[in-house]
A and B are shown apart, each in its own frame.
Chain A
């Protein structure tokens, strides 16, 4: 399993995937810094609530970008992990080796998970550092930031696992499109559920819940934003940042569900790959 994981990380390094991602991430963080730097600010003593709102707004905006960039990174890097390698003949000399198929699938996921961990960490802590540079006094405590980071990592791993599952059966393009559209639908359903007029038990709310079960990334994102805000739910409502905010905080059960979802996605990937021609 570790042979495959090593090869996956090796590929990310050797093919300059990490280098290109790193350079672009720096560019992204520079733009984000410009955005935060040009926000109107007052001394904390003059308007503490206004500054808190601005800080949380910046964090929420950064988190939103982080959410999308991580998703696209995860989808694009994993979408051809199995199918493209079978089509190109890369796996043909590997499968007859003394490796079981589960090792190949799980090894690939571990490799991608390590690469995702590095990427998410740089991006997330970069965003937090930029906001911290301007709003040091109003930022949440370190444990909340770490919890939010862990949720973003989990989001990347869940997307990686479900994209890997798709890559066992679908072509690279079909898989990439399917997962990207599902991800966008999950976000839209999650955004709909944030509006105050969407009543509990309504069809829209039911649809949002169903979509969050199909792909639990949106709940992880909103829980991460909530953690980043230090649990200040009221300031993250639709009045402040609209559908990107958090009116309804996903419970920790959803986080647990995401962990189970990840395990199931990997198990199904392994089972499907065992019966796939290579």
Chain B
């Protein structure tokens, strides 16, 4: 039976002496999804990816890729990988690099190589030596290497970090097209605005531990906020909405109401009573970036509380 999951990680742990790069990471990525793996620098994202790809042996834990053990040689024929830090032999041409990887996959024809290079916009630079390519073009070459052989699962670690906006847009289009073909994409990226438009689900890792995993839609709709544009607001009006427990921030006519949508008429009534002109009320969609920052800050506070509690020998506040 074909597994519905492209990636299943169970308790992945990597320790270097007393330091822990990642601990008990459990992940589930459905087939056909674009999955965003988020976390601040040094959180352990790349370590998890490297374990899944066999670059780093785990201290504990195991994983399955496309329904088979992650070390299975056959499964590696169906995987493409663009590392964050990579280099291709500078003395090879663009075509030769992709051709070599195609050969390793058992593909001898020229067609697959040309298709991969066309997909990333390098068809006209096939004969150029790798050493003559800019960083952005080398990243495109890395993408061509990752997609050659039509893999079912792609691991992309910061795939657009060196690209210009046009390059990023093109890669975004490529990934959308890839997903429409039923492929699974595992993305590590710091460019959260890009991930927001691409991902179906995300996971957040911090200090080697997974702190969130779920759908992107859930994250973006979890907090309802509305932008309210008004005329001058008297202090009495502000006191009244505060008294009613309505949470508004901002000022000078530009407010953000964070709360239940059903209480908007109540807010409107208060403003009307004080003859405050209301020009606009618009829902504010939470961005992935704001969620990311808020989540990390929340975690920071939690960790600080734990540390303080540990220090004092009592429970966290």
Contact = CB atoms under 8 A, between A and B. Distances in A.
B104 A97 contact: yes
Nearest to B51: A277
A124 B291 CA distance: 69
Interface stretch (A49-57, A84-92, A181-189, A234-242): A84-92
Contacts of A96: 53-55, 76, 79, 81, 155
Contacts of B79: 96
Interface string A89-106: 110111111111000000
A7 B87 CA distance: 15
Given A11-B91, A98-B74, A275-B57, A89 B104 contact: no
A137 interface: no
Contacts, number: 66
Given A95-B53, A98-B74, A89 B85 contact: yes
Contacts of B100: 3, 7
A7 B89 contact: yes
Interface string B54-88: 11110000000000000001101101011101111
Instruction: Report the interface size class on chain B.
Output: 20 to 34
A200 interface: no
Given A11-B91, A275-B57, A277-B50, A93 B104 contact: no
A93 B89 contact: no
Interface string B39-51: 0000000000010
B103 A14 contact: no
B132 to A, nearest CB: 14
B77 A98 contact: yes
A92 B55 contact: yes
Contacts of A278: 50, 55-56
Q: Which of A10, A15, A94, A96 has the largest number of chain B CB atoms within 10 A?
A: A96
A88 B87 contact: yes
Nearest to A98: B76
B72 to A, nearest CB: 9
Contacts of B142: 93
Interface in B85-123: 85-89, 91-92, 100-101, 103-105
A3 B96 CA distance: 13
B210 interface: no
A100 B73 CA distance: 8
Contacts of A88: 87
Given A92-B86, A97-B105, 13 more contacts: A3-B100, A88-B87, A89-B83, A90-B89, A93-B82, A93-B86, A93-B101, A96-B79, A96-B81, A98-B74, A98-B105, A277-B55, A278-B55
Interface of B: 50, 53-57, 73-74, 76-77, 79, 81-83, 85-89, 91-92, 100-101, 103-105, 142, 145-146, 155
24 contacts: A11-B89, A14-B91, A15-B91, A90-B86, A90-B87, A90-B89, A92-B85, A93-B81, A93-B82, A93-B83, A93-B101, A93-B142, A93-B145, A95-B53, A96-B76, A96-B79, A97-B104, A98-B104, A100-B73, A274-B57, A275-B57, A277-B55, A278-B55, A278-B56
Closest 10 interchain pairs by CB? A92-B83, A96-B53, A98-B76, A14-B91, A89-B86, A89-B87, A278-B55, A89-B85, A277-B56, A96-B81
